[in-house]
A = this chain, B = another copy of it.
Amino acid sequence: MRNFERSLPMSLLIAREAVMAKFTPVLREHGLSSQQWRVLRALIEYGELDATELSNRCCLMMPSLSRILKNMLERGLIARRTDSKDQRRSLISLTSAGEKLFDTLAPWNEARYDHIENILGKEKLEQLYALLDETIDKLNHLNDQDKGASAP
């Protein structure tokens, strides 16, 4: 039987925790979860987005995003308006308070990446990105194909 330590999902999970370890407390000091940070980050980079696109870019399911946006709206971090051409769509953007909060946290985020790059080395970090991307691409591509799985 495969060794418990050789579990790819576990390794990915633990690696993610290790990578986040130094940044999560900084987020918490400002009352942000890592998910809310992803929303902030996506809106800074892409500007106004509708909820579905935001959901895709942040890897958040719509029900989660829905609650997160409600929360961030109450805190005045984001603004939302209805798309005039499609009344179903809800367009989300950052308020100046949201931008300000991002500006406060961004240096910590950069410092974290510098830290990782220093520890691991630029080359290995790039190698890790490349391997992850390749894994994602190939698995998602092949997962899309055989929807009818057969017995092992």
Contact = CB atoms under 8 A, between A and B. Distances in A.
Interface in A115-138: 115-116, 119-120, 124-125, 127-129, 131-136, 138
Nearest to A42: B4
Q: How many copies of the chain does the oligomer comprise?
A: 2
A18 B138 CA distance: 9
Interface string A5-45: 01111111111111111100110000000100010011011
A97 interface: no
B2 A139 contact: no
Contacts of A4: 41-42, 45-46, 57
Interface residues of A, number: 61
B13 A8 contact: no
User: Interface centre among A1, A16, A111, A129, by most B CB within 10 Å?
Assistant: A16
Contacts of A18: 135-136, 139-140, 143
Interface of A: 1-4, 6-22, 25-26, 34, 38, 41-42, 44-46, 57, 59, 106-111, 113, 115-116, 119-120, 124-125, 127-129, 131-136, 138-140, 142-143, 149, 152
Given A9-B20, A18-B139, 18 more contacts: A2-B110, A4-B46, A8-B19, A8-B128, A10-B38, A14-B59, A14-B132, A15-B132, A15-B136, A18-B135, A18-B136, A18-B140, A21-B139, A21-B140, A22-B143, A25-B149, A119-B142, A131-B131
